Amino acid sequence: MKLVILDRDGVINYDSPEYIKSPQEWHPITGSLEAIANLHQHGFVICVATNQAGIGRGLYSLQDLEQIHGKMLQAVTDSGGKITAVFHCPHIPDDDCQCRKPRPGLIRQIAHHLHTAVEGAPLVGDKLTDIEAGIAAGCKPILVQSGSAELTLDQLPHSDIPVYQNLAGAAAAIIAGDV
Protein backbone atom coordinates (compact mmCIF):
# COMPACT_ATOMS: atom_id res chain seq x y z
CA MET A 1 0.00 0.00 0.00
CA LYS A 2 1.27 3.43 -0.95
CA LEU A 3 0.26 5.49 2.08
CA VAL A 4 0.58 9.24 2.68
CA ILE A 5 -0.37 10.80 6.01
CA LEU A 6 -1.28 14.48 6.11
CA ASP A 7 -1.75 16.93 8.92
CA ARG A 8 -4.82 19.11 8.36
CA ASP A 9 -4.44 22.70 9.56
CA GLY A 10 -1.61 24.47 7.76
CA VAL A 11 -1.22 21.64 5.23
CA ILE A 12 -4.64 21.12 3.65
CA ASN A 13 -6.42 24.23 4.92
CA TYR A 14 -5.43 27.59 6.30
CA ASP A 15 -4.78 27.49 10.04
CA SER A 16 -6.00 29.98 12.61
CA PRO A 17 -4.69 30.83 16.09
CA GLU A 18 -8.41 31.00 17.03
CA TYR A 19 -8.96 27.42 15.73
CA ILE A 20 -11.11 26.31 12.83
CA LYS A 21 -14.44 25.96 14.65
CA SER A 22 -16.99 25.64 11.84
CA PRO A 23 -17.25 24.63 8.19
CA GLN A 24 -17.49 28.34 7.31
CA GLU A 25 -14.00 28.88 8.76
CA TRP A 26 -12.44 26.00 6.80
CA HIS A 27 -10.69 27.22 3.64
CA PRO A 28 -8.32 25.07 1.57
CA ILE A 29 -4.81 26.29 0.90
CA THR A 30 -4.39 27.06 -2.78
CA GLY A 31 -3.33 23.89 -4.59
CA SER A 32 -3.86 21.52 -1.66
CA LEU A 33 -7.00 19.88 -3.02
CA GLU A 34 -5.37 19.34 -6.40
CA ALA A 35 -2.29 17.89 -4.65
CA ILE A 36 -4.46 15.35 -2.82
CA ALA A 37 -6.21 14.49 -6.10
CA ASN A 38 -2.82 14.04 -7.77
CA LEU A 39 -1.64 11.70 -5.00
CA HIS A 40 -4.90 9.72 -5.20
CA GLN A 41 -4.71 9.46 -8.99
CA HIS A 42 -1.19 8.05 -8.63
CA GLY A 43 -2.46 5.26 -6.40
CA PHE A 44 -1.73 6.67 -2.96
CA VAL A 45 -4.01 6.08 0.01
CA ILE A 46 -4.34 9.35 1.93
CA CYS A 47 -5.16 9.64 5.63
CA VAL A 48 -5.28 12.70 7.86
CA ALA A 49 -3.91 12.86 11.42
CA THR A 50 -4.88 16.08 13.18
CA ASN A 51 -4.70 17.48 16.70
CA GLN A 52 -8.00 19.19 17.59
CA ALA A 53 -7.51 20.62 21.08
CA GLY A 54 -10.37 23.04 20.45
CA ILE A 55 -12.71 20.18 21.35
CA GLY A 56 -10.96 19.64 24.68
CA ARG A 57 -11.05 23.39 25.29
CA GLY A 58 -14.79 23.51 24.63
CA LEU A 59 -14.46 25.81 21.60
CA TYR A 60 -16.34 23.46 19.28
CA SER A 61 -18.00 20.08 19.47
CA LEU A 62 -17.31 16.72 17.89
CA GLN A 63 -20.35 17.36 15.70
CA ASP A 64 -18.79 20.65 14.53
CA LEU A 65 -15.56 18.78 13.72
CA GLU A 66 -17.48 16.17 11.75
CA GLN A 67 -19.14 18.96 9.73
CA ILE A 68 -15.75 20.57 9.06
CA HIS A 69 -14.36 17.23 7.91
CA GLY A 70 -17.45 16.66 5.80
CA LYS A 71 -16.77 19.92 3.98
CA MET A 72 -13.10 18.98 3.55
CA LEU A 73 -13.89 15.48 2.25
CA GLN A 74 -16.46 16.84 -0.20
CA ALA A 75 -14.00 19.47 -1.47
CA VAL A 76 -11.36 16.78 -1.99
CA THR A 77 -13.87 14.53 -3.80
CA ASP A 78 -15.01 17.45 -5.98
CA SER A 79 -11.36 17.96 -6.96
CA GLY A 80 -10.94 14.33 -8.02
CA GLY A 81 -9.23 13.10 -4.87
CA LYS A 82 -10.02 10.88 -1.94
CA ILE A 83 -9.12 10.90 1.73
CA THR A 84 -9.58 7.38 3.06
CA ALA A 85 -9.85 8.30 6.75
CA VAL A 86 -9.44 11.20 9.16
CA PHE A 87 -8.08 10.60 12.67
CA HIS A 88 -8.18 13.32 15.30
CA CYS A 89 -7.02 13.86 18.85
CA PRO A 90 -9.56 15.91 20.84
CA HIS A 91 -7.32 16.34 23.88
CA ILE A 92 -5.44 19.36 25.21
CA PRO A 93 -1.70 19.03 25.82
CA ASP A 94 -2.15 18.70 29.59
CA ASP A 95 -4.29 15.57 29.14
CA ASP A 96 -1.10 13.56 28.52
CA CYS A 97 -2.85 11.24 26.05
CA GLN A 98 -1.11 8.92 23.62
CA CYS A 99 -2.85 10.23 20.51
CA ARG A 100 -1.81 13.89 20.59
CA LYS A 101 1.09 14.65 18.27
CA PRO A 102 4.08 14.61 18.85
CA ARG A 103 3.17 11.18 20.20
CA PRO A 104 2.56 8.60 17.48
CA GLY A 105 -0.87 7.38 18.64
CA LEU A 106 -2.86 8.82 15.71
CA ILE A 107 -0.42 7.30 13.26
CA ARG A 108 -0.69 3.93 15.00
CA GLN A 109 -4.48 4.23 14.72
CA ILE A 110 -4.06 4.68 10.97
CA ALA A 111 -1.85 1.57 10.78
CA HIS A 112 -4.40 -0.44 12.75
CA HIS A 113 -7.36 0.85 10.71
CA LEU A 114 -5.68 0.08 7.37
CA HIS A 115 -4.00 -3.14 8.54
CA THR A 116 -0.69 -1.89 7.19
CA ALA A 117 2.70 -0.74 8.34
CA VAL A 118 3.32 3.00 8.42
CA GLU A 119 7.10 2.77 8.57
CA GLY A 120 8.58 4.72 5.68
CA ALA A 121 5.26 6.33 4.72
CA PRO A 122 5.49 10.06 4.00
CA LEU A 123 3.95 12.21 6.73
CA VAL A 124 3.41 15.82 5.66
CA GLY A 125 3.09 18.46 8.37
CA ASP A 126 3.76 22.10 9.07
CA LYS A 127 4.69 21.93 12.76
CA LEU A 128 7.48 20.40 14.78
CA THR A 129 4.92 18.16 16.51
CA ASP A 130 4.01 16.63 13.12
CA ILE A 131 7.65 15.95 12.35
CA GLU A 132 8.27 14.44 15.78
CA ALA A 133 5.19 12.20 15.52
CA GLY A 134 6.33 11.01 12.11
CA ILE A 135 9.78 10.17 13.41
CA ALA A 136 8.33 8.40 16.47
CA ALA A 137 6.14 6.24 14.21
CA GLY A 138 8.92 5.46 11.75
CA CYS A 139 7.42 7.55 8.95
CA LYS A 140 9.30 9.77 6.53
CA PRO A 141 8.47 13.29 7.77
CA ILE A 142 8.15 16.14 5.30
CA LEU A 143 7.78 19.77 6.34
CA VAL A 144 5.67 22.23 4.35
CA GLN A 145 5.92 25.98 4.81
CA SER A 146 2.25 26.73 4.17
CA GLY A 147 1.38 26.85 7.86
CA SER A 148 3.57 27.25 10.93
CA ALA A 149 6.80 25.98 9.39
CA GLU A 150 8.62 29.27 9.83
CA LEU A 151 8.56 28.52 13.55
CA THR A 152 10.18 25.11 13.12
CA LEU A 153 12.69 25.32 10.26
CA ASP A 154 15.56 25.98 12.63
CA GLN A 155 14.17 23.45 15.11
CA LEU A 156 14.15 20.44 12.78
CA PRO A 157 15.59 17.41 14.57
CA HIS A 158 17.40 16.20 11.43
CA SER A 159 18.89 18.12 8.53
CA ASP A 160 17.71 15.48 6.03
CA ILE A 161 14.00 16.28 6.51
CA PRO A 162 12.72 17.57 3.17
CA VAL A 163 11.08 20.99 3.16
CA TYR A 164 8.61 22.19 0.52
CA GLN A 165 6.65 25.39 0.09
CA ASN A 166 3.28 23.62 0.27
CA LEU A 167 1.46 20.34 -0.16
CA ALA A 168 1.58 20.63 -3.95
CA GLY A 169 5.40 20.63 -3.85
CA ALA A 170 5.52 17.78 -1.36
CA ALA A 171 3.01 15.73 -3.37
CA ALA A 172 5.01 16.19 -6.57
CA ALA A 173 8.16 14.97 -4.79
CA ILE A 174 6.33 11.99 -3.27
CA ILE A 175 4.91 10.98 -6.65
CA ALA A 176 8.34 11.34 -8.28
CA GLY A 177 9.87 9.15 -5.57
CA ASP A 178 12.17 11.93 -4.39
CA VAL A 179 11.21 11.43 -0.73
**Which residues are known to be catalytic?**
7, 9
Question: What region does 43 belong to: left with phi over 0, alpha with psi -120 to 50, or beta?
Answer: left
| Residue 23 to residue 42: CA distance in whole angstroms | 29
Summary count for the chain: helices (H), strands (E): 6, 6
DSSP 127-166: SHHHHHHHHHHT-EEEEESSSSGGGTGGG-S-TTS-EESS
| Residue 31 to residue 18: CA distance in whole angstroms | 23
| Residue 39 to residue 61: CA distance in whole angstroms | 31
